[in-house]
Structure 1
Amino acid sequence: MKKRICIIHTGGTIGMIKTAHGYAPKKGFMKQALSAIQELNSEEMPSYDYIEYDPLLDSSDVSVKEWVKIAKDIEERYHMYDGFVILHGTDTMAYTASALSFMLDGLSKPVILTGSQIPLSEIRNDGRDNIITALLIAANYNIPEVCLYFGSKLMRGNRATKISSDHLIAFDSPNYPFLAEVGVNIEVKNKLIRPTKGDFKVRIFDKRQIAVLKIFPGIQWEVFESLMTSHLKGFVIEALGAGNLPKADHILQGLLKRAKENDTIIVVCTQCLKGSAVIGQYEASSTLSQAGAVSGYDMTVEAAVTKLDYLLSLYDDVETVKRLMETNLRGELTK
């Protein structure tokens, strides 16, 4: 019996057509484009059903509301399909993949996000192979994770990050090996795949005020004074190196003190593509340690932001959120 896959089309470059104002999504185009890919009718391919969102969104417009919709659509159809393929724009694909990895608790089947850098409407495009291979992997391999497939690499969703806006190799997984590499054969690295834990359940996100700050030489801390209010629940800092900041002045100390008083959770990640942020390792991060900040270790910023939103949606206790931010929940970090 053929495996069944559900394709969810949210929007993005893969389903766009050229207009007088540049590439834009067109309702119904993707369904037509899929029916024109003859390989999808092969006996080797799974059968699929197709869902198209209305409106189709550029991924820069995808956020918590859309993450919840995707998760609920998967929940509603979870027992009807052997896997799910989500067609998505590349700009925020890693954020959506990270968010879904936390929302889809106890996942026991593949959920694979993919898309393209060149639309299917163009003669030369990368979308066709990405769709075919994502469907084959979702149907034929036991990978109970939210993944991102792009450019012949299958990555854990919460380890992926976009590295290029104009190359066909658009994503990388800098701190965790690829789950599968596709060449002449599809080589799945089973030892790297997380086993299913518990029963499937969708955990819904709420909208929380979270900010991201990238540190740079000569940063003027007073610019951020208006940001540090009691409404700010989470603060992800992209620090230098292993979690370092420029020498603290009285303004920074005041900001960190206010964050602590407001129970704003500070998570420190590194700007480096590879490696970890561990506060307290150098004197330059001691100010953060004293303020009660937590280490993001080798999490991507995408994973840190979505994980923080996830935990703040589940727990009111600040210490619980801090502890779990430093705990590996879905394979998102290595301590």
Structure 2
Amino acid sequence: MKNILIIYTGGTIGMVRTPNGYAPQSGYFLSELEAIPALRSPEMPRWELHEMSPLLDSSNMTVKEWNEVAQLIYDNYGAYDGFVVLHGTDTMAYTASALSFMLENLAKPVVLTGSQIPLCEVRSDGADNLITSLLIAADDRVHEVCLYFGGNLMRGNRTTKYSADGLAAFHSPNFPPLAEAGITIRYNPTALRPEPEGDLRLQLMENVPIGVIKVFPGIQFSLFEQIMTEKLRGIVIETFGAGNIPGDGSALLPIIRRAFENGTVLTVCSQCPQGAVSLGAYEASSSLKGAGAVSGLDMTTEAAVAKLYYLFSCGYDKDTVKQMMGCDLRGEMTV
């Protein structure tokens, strides 16, 4: 029988009603789990619960909490066959992306999940998400950080939150599901990462100054000049389509050049959930490439942000970070 560690960080799945709305409550969640008969089924793996302190709404998750979860997995790696991380949905894709980079040579499943409706409510989707995630975590076919929600198992660093109120809250727009859970759990062997060689390595994150700018019609690029200082290590710019910016890029390009000279790495992602950035495919994007920006290809913004944190935390210089932002490290992009 497999042994699985459930890491409960907070989030909707374990929240209770309070006068100020749903909120996590320390010490409450274990009793909720023990009330689910299926978790005691002989078909289920053995599991233990580790409750983080403090429990957080995922909107309050930071690099500090990413480090705590990654360290917990690393320290308990030899004692368990897989890990389930219960997490709020708002920033789950960011945490999944971060963990995928922090845990190099991961040979066991790390499955992030949660719910849109708390377990304390009648129509909660939490029990099914948790039960299926435990079964996946006990399966030897998964060797990566993934996210299970609403019947789909997805690569963690390929996901983005799609719906605020639907039960299929996450999409993986540029990569197929790793598995689909119906009457049975049907894995997609061609999508799964192979078992790695070598021992697990942990790289903790530093709270590196990173920014995100979303381009919109009429944007005044000059307003962002003040933040483009030598303190800003990385920035993700969400452009139109395949990497296009408004025609008045003359105000942006000198800012980008100056930022790159200061050591800032600028990565271009698309506002379109599906598809890839192709700098130079249109005249409206060629100037970005000439100014020193790097294409994020089909990475999600969540993955690009986590990757910048990771690469700078490794101690690489800006030229190496720029080069590696265009390389596939954990299946986060299609090259």
One-letter identity of the residue aligned with 2:101: F
Instruction: Name 2:189's counterpart in structure 1.
Output: 190
**Distance (Å, rounded) in 1 between the aligned partners of 2:139 and 2:309:** 33
**Distance (Å, rounded) in 2 between the aligned partners of 1:86 and 1:213:** 30
Contact 1:248 1:287 in 2 (8 A): no
1:248 aligns with 2:248: yes
Closer, same or farther in 2 for the Cα pair 1:189/1:113, shift >3 Å? same
Instruction: Name 1:257's counterpart in structure 2.
Output: 257
**Distance (Å, rounded) in 2 between the aligned partners of 1:106 and 1:315:** 19
Instruction: Name 2:312's counterpart in structure 1.
Output: 312
Contact 2:278 2:295 in 1 (8 A): yes
Gaps of 5+ in 1: none
Instruction: Name 1:227's counterpart in structure 2.
Output: 227
One-letter identity of the residue aligned with 1:217: P
Structure 1, residues 91-141: CA drift from partner, whole Å, max 9, x if none? 000000000000000001000000000000101100000000000111124
Q: CA deviation at 1:316?
A: 3.1
**Distance (Å, rounded) in 1 between the aligned partners of 2:306 and 2:139:** 29
The 5 Å alignment of 1:296-335 reads 296-335=296-335
**SS of match in other structure, 1:158:** helix
Instruction: Name 2:89's counterpart in structure 1.
Output: 90
**Distance (Å, rounded) in 2 between the aligned partners of 1:317 and 1:87:** 35
**Distance (Å, rounded) in 1 between the aligned partners of 2:13 and 2:23:** 10
1:237 aligns with 2:237: yes
**SS of match in other structure, 1:297:** coil
**Distance (Å, rounded) in 2 between the aligned partners of 1:248 and 1:258:** 18
Contact 1:209 1:231 in 2 (8 A): yes
**Distance (Å, rounded) in 2 between the aligned partners of 1:249 and 1:133:** 48
With 40-49 and 279-288 compared, the bigger mean Cα shift is at 279-288
Structure 1, residues 293-321: CA drift from partner, whole Å, max 9, x if none? 10000000000000011011113322211
One-letter identity of the residue aligned with 1:223: L
Instruction: Name 1:48's counterpart in structure 2.
Output: 47
Closer, same or farther in 2 for the Cα pair 1:268/1:208, shift >3 Å? same
The 5 Å alignment of 1:35-114 reads 35-114=34-113
Instruction: Name 2:218's counterpart in structure 1.
Output: 218
Structure 1, residues 269-309: CA drift from partner, whole Å, max 9, x if none? 00001000121111111221111110000000000000011
**Distance (Å, rounded) in 2 between the aligned partners of 1:123 and 1:251:** 54
One-letter identity of the residue aligned with 1:111: V
One-letter identity of the residue aligned with 2:52: Y
**Distance (Å, rounded) in 1 between the aligned partners of 2:249 and 2:32:** 58
**SS of match in other structure, 1:112:** strand
Q: CA deviation at 1:250?
A: 4.0
Q: CA deviation at 1:196?
A: 2.7
**Distance (Å, rounded) in 2 between the aligned partners of 1:79 and 1:247:** 55
**Distance (Å, rounded) in 2 between the aligned partners of 1:173 and 1:179:** 10
**Distance (Å, rounded) in 2 between the aligned partners of 1:315 and 1:278:** 28
**Distance (Å, rounded) in 1 between the aligned partners of 2:221 and 2:212:** 14
**Distance (Å, rounded) in 1 between the aligned partners of 2:304 and 2:249:** 26
Instruction: Name 1:292's counterpart in structure 2.
Output: 292
Instruction: Name 2:275's counterpart in structure 1.
Output: 275
**Distance (Å, rounded) in 1 between the aligned partners of 2:249 and 2:288:** 13
The 5 Å alignment of 1:98-177 reads 98-177=97-176
Q: Report % sequence identity.
A: 56
**Distance (Å, rounded) in 2 between the aligned partners of 1:260 and 1:90:** 34
Tell me how large the CA RMSD over aligned residues is: 1.0
Q: CA deviation at 1:249?
A: 4.6
Q: CA deviation at 1:225?
A: 1.4
Q: Which portions of structure 1, spanning 4 or more consecutive aligned residues, are displaced by more than 4 angstroms?
A: none
Contact 1:315 1:321 in 2 (8 A): no
**Distance (Å, rounded) in 1 between the aligned partners of 2:249 and 2:300:** 28
Contact 2:179 2:186 in 1 (8 A): yes
**Distance (Å, rounded) in 2 between the aligned partners of 1:240 and 1:55:** 39
**Distance (Å, rounded) in 2 between the aligned partners of 1:171 and 1:122:** 21
Contact 2:257 2:292 in 1 (8 A): no
**SS of match in other structure, 2:298:** coil
**SS of match in other structure, 1:20:** coil
Q: CA deviation at 1:240?
A: 0.5
**SS of match in other structure, 1:298:** coil
One-letter identity of the residue aligned with 2:195: T
Matched pairs, number: 334
Gaps of 5+ in 2: none
